[in-house]
Structure 1
Amino acid sequence: MKLSTFKLGATYPVFIEQIETKKDPVSGKWLKPGYSTDVELIAEKEGFQRYFKDGSWHYVVDNIGTEYWDEDGTKHTITELGEEVPDGGLLEAPIIPITLEAQTALANVECTKRINYHWNQIGQINASLGVYGEEDTFACAAWIAANREALIELLNRDDLTEIDVTEDQFWPVFK
């Protein structure tokens, strides 16, 4: 006798596999393991899982792993059976133009990152306190000033939202 087994799930007891069962040698009755049924299994259907409930087989949509985006660019991943991409959900990330405010913030972060790459905050403090010699103190101040000037020049560009402010071409070279 062929049985279909299913995994007991919170919402959908989904099909696992079909097995051949044996007769009990003592009673002569067919052995029927838990979470199995002899109700005829429905055909496979692409994009769906089969599940057993209330004495019959049903289909449930299986979009697990499907990624979609809201119009504002928020990414979501479907993790549950039966979950559909909502109305208005996009299957590709939308192209959202960067705002002037966001690009300004990115330029400020890039400036700080570039300053700290060669003169970390402890080095900057030590230079300002005179812990280093005159040459190093001057080099630190010059590096910070060069990057701040590059930042000001960047922020004054008319095409600020159209460029990649992390590109080296917009920043001074460390010497």
Structure 2
Amino acid sequence: MSLRNKIVAGVLVLCSGTLTAFLGDWEGNGQNVVYADKLAGGLPTVCKGITRHTSPDPVVVGDYWSAARCDQVEQMVIQKGQLQLADCITNQQVGQNTFDALSSHAHNVGVPGTCASRAVGLINAGRIADGCQALAWAADGKTPVWAFVTNAQGKKVLVRGLHARRLAEADLCRAGL
């Protein structure tokens, strides 16, 4: 059964309660006023990480989004991303927690980045625990990954909050293995 078929059959849930709570912790609960996300170069962001790249509606700094509008757009954006993500995961042994962790990663860095990641490569190769570890650490096990931004001087700088998120995704990914 393909991962997409597991979703259709209800074995894996789109927009699970675990995922939405996780995203709320890391993207912001009740973030109803559009703000310029400094870590994303000032990209207008609202709700649980909704941007112009994912929203069907304009995302303009200073605009107010109701809780109902946030819920509606978040569910649509998360589900769309998860369906795209499901197409690049070939290991049928992926459980809900691993899928939710990969979904959070994809929500933050983009589905193409997650699908091309070492983490997904390891998971698809049947090495789920190693793939979970790769969400936060390079192959050497010491160097953080997916936790850097480029500063005004063009240097890559580690953002401790992003690395904390990657560690939390790795923990969620391993939960239940």
- Normalising by structure 2, we get a TM-score of 0.21
Larger RCO, structure (CA 8 Å, separation 6 or more): 2
Give 1 or 2: higher helix fraction. 2
Structure 1 length normalisation: TM-score?
A: 0.21
